[in-house]
Structure 1
Amino acid sequence: MVTEISAQFVKELRTMTGAGMMDCKKALQETDGNIDKAIEHLRQKGLASASKKSGRRTAEGLIESYIHAGSKIGVMVELNCETDFVARRIEFQELAKNIAMQIAACPQVEYIDIKSIPLSIIDQEKAIESAKDDICNKPADVQVQIIKGRVEKRLNELSLMNQSFIRNTDITIEDLINEKISLMGENIKISRFVRFLLGEGIERNEQNFSEEVANMIKS
């Protein structure tokens, strides 16, 4: 006998998970109206929306590192989830490795997402684009649209979440993470990352060969 589920109960589950109405109704019927079990049922089927998990606390996870061939580029990234159980899953560990490799492959990326980019950087990009010669003779409204488009493109270049995934360019890093959220049923977030370039920030000795020989003779 199929358990009768009220529309209000279905709506409540939909609000909590973001899953479709029929999926929520079916989940409640299969769990005899137990909302906690219904949520778990939807998670297992990957039907709970990633957006509904975005505010949940992520205190577990791992720190992943990647050293590129030649050992001249290195990356460390902290990827967080809700439980240690998910942190130990091979899918989560593979996600962390892929993100670390993505960061190494995208030298222009400096921030996790667009909302992390400081306003001062955005204003700086606007000023740079406004001063370019190729738009100075265009109508003001056209200039505004061109500047807006160019700044948006630049912000996308700076944002890790907006990058096309190097192993599947049909999706972004944000899409990839949302896929794993649906698969594993937990909120997943990139907390921070750092990229190391060999010799970065160190003043190099640019002395040419002739100067080197001359110094050797003098000594």
Structure 2
Amino acid sequence: MANVTAAMVKQLREMTDSPMMECKKALVEADGDIEKAVDVLRKMGVAKAVKRAGRDTNEGTIATHISEDGKVGAILELTCETDFVGTNPKFTDFAAELAKVVAQNDPADVEALKACAMGDATVADELTEMIHVIGENMKIARFRRVSVEDGALSSYVHLGGKLADLAWFSLTKAETAQSDAFKVFAHDVAMQVAAAAPVAARREDVPAETVEHEKSIYMAQAAESGKPAFIQEKMAVGKLEKFYKEIVLTEQEFIKDSSMTIADYAAKVGKELGDTVKVEGFVRFAFGE
């Protein structure tokens, strides 16, 4: 009987996208012949993923996970073939579990994530198993992990997983993160990110080229007025201020109460809790972007 090596198992796994133990069994049965082992897997019904690997995955979901202490979060997009599967609880729960693996392991990329442990197997094994069970091709499209030292995160998932985000905040008191007032505020801000689609959390985070591009347009518009140069400058600056209020999260009007901005809301909650609460950043995924 041929000696089945780890390298052979790895090669068969890469060829068929099948679970490691099944690959080993197939190689033993095929006496070490890779091509025969592929046939063994196909007969076992395990190598179905080979045929599915080329199918388009234009549906799916976005999932988030935040650690119990609120300091580590992850957001992940998992794709599939049909909307029916994309809303299947088995599929969406799997996406949430993948987001948890990202939060706990901080993988560098999708391949590194696939190599992470998930239960008694790896993410790659579990993904292949899910493909077999559900009967559709699936892919991990992208993910992002965020961690904070002196602060907390919040998340919001909208449109049945087609839009989701993470928002993070800085605090000076650890107990603030556990307060109801902060939790409501953090959830509201995460909801604002989903609904209002800001470009940056703070004015200083807006890319310089974006600001210059907008200002050049406003200056050109002001020049059409025929007014003196210093008036044109004021007109352009005025429009730029309006632009900031539209795209900067902290300067946007709060969607639930237009009498205050998100920065005002943060100050209000901070005062109530005797803390300094600041919005530091966010990451927003719209499915298929």
Q: Distance in 2 between matches of 1:167 and 1:180?
A: 15
Deviations 1:92-128, CA, capped at 9 Å, x for gaps = 1111100000111112x11122233343322221112
Please list every run of at least 4 consecutive aligned residues from structure 1 whose deviation after the TM superposition is greater than 6 angstroms. none
Q: Residue 161 of structure 2: SS of its match in structure 1?
A: coil
Q: Note the C-alpha offset of 1:65.
A: 0.9
Out of 120, 136, 140, the residue aligned to residue 224 of structure 2 is 136
Out of 60, 65, 68, the residue aligned to residue 155 of structure 2 is 65
Q: Distance in 2 between matches of 1:189 and 1:95?
A: 11
Q: Distance in 2 between matches of 1:175 and 1:190?
A: 11
Structure 2-normalised TM-score? 0.45
Q: Distance in 2 between matches of 1:130 and 1:191?
A: 31
In the other structure, the counterpart of 1:176 is 265
**Deviating more after overlay: 113-122 vs 177-186:** 113-122
Q: Distance in 1 between matches of 2:235 and 2:286?
A: 34
Task: Report if the CA contact (8 A) 2:203-2:248 is conserved.
Answer: yes
Letter in 2 for 1:95: F
In the other structure, the counterpart of 2:244 is 155
Matched, 1:99 2:189: yes
Q: Distance in 1 between matches of 2:154 and 2:204?
A: 23
In the other structure, the counterpart of 1:76 is 166
Q: Note the C-alpha offset of 1:196.
A: 0.5
Q: Note the C-alpha offset of 1:135.
A: 4.0
Q: Note the C-alpha offset of 1:70.
A: 3.1
Q: List runs of 5+ in structure 2 lacking aligned partners.
A: 1-147
Task: Report if the CA contact (8 A) 1:66-1:75 is conserved.
Answer: yes
Count of aligned pairs: 141
Task: Report if the CA contact (8 A) 1:162-1:172 is conserved.
Answer: yes
Q: Residue 168 of structure 2: SS of its match in structure 1?
A: strand
Q: Superposition RMSD on alpha carbons, in Å?
A: 1.9
Q: Distance in 1 between matches of 2:279 and 2:162?
A: 24
Percent identity between the two aligned chains: 28
**CA 1:137/1:187 → structure 2, altered by over 3 Å: closer, same or farther?**
closer
Structure 1-normalised TM-score? 0.59
Higher relative contact order (CA 8 A, sep 6+): 1
State how 1:2-151 maps to structure 2 within 5 Å. Answer: 59-107=149-197, 109-132=198-221, 135-139=223-227, 140-151=229-240
Q: Distance in 2 between matches of 1:68 and 1:194?
A: 14
Letter in 2 for 1:99: V
Q: Distance in 1 between matches of 2:279 and 2:195?
A: 17
Bigger share in strand: 2
Q: Distance in 1 between matches of 2:200 and 2:256?
A: 20
Q: Note the C-alpha offset of 1:195.
A: 0.6
Task: Report if the CA contact (8 A) 2:151-2:177 is conserved.
Answer: yes
Q: List runs of 5+ in structure 1 lacking aligned partners.
A: 1-57, 201-219
Letter in 2 for 1:199: G
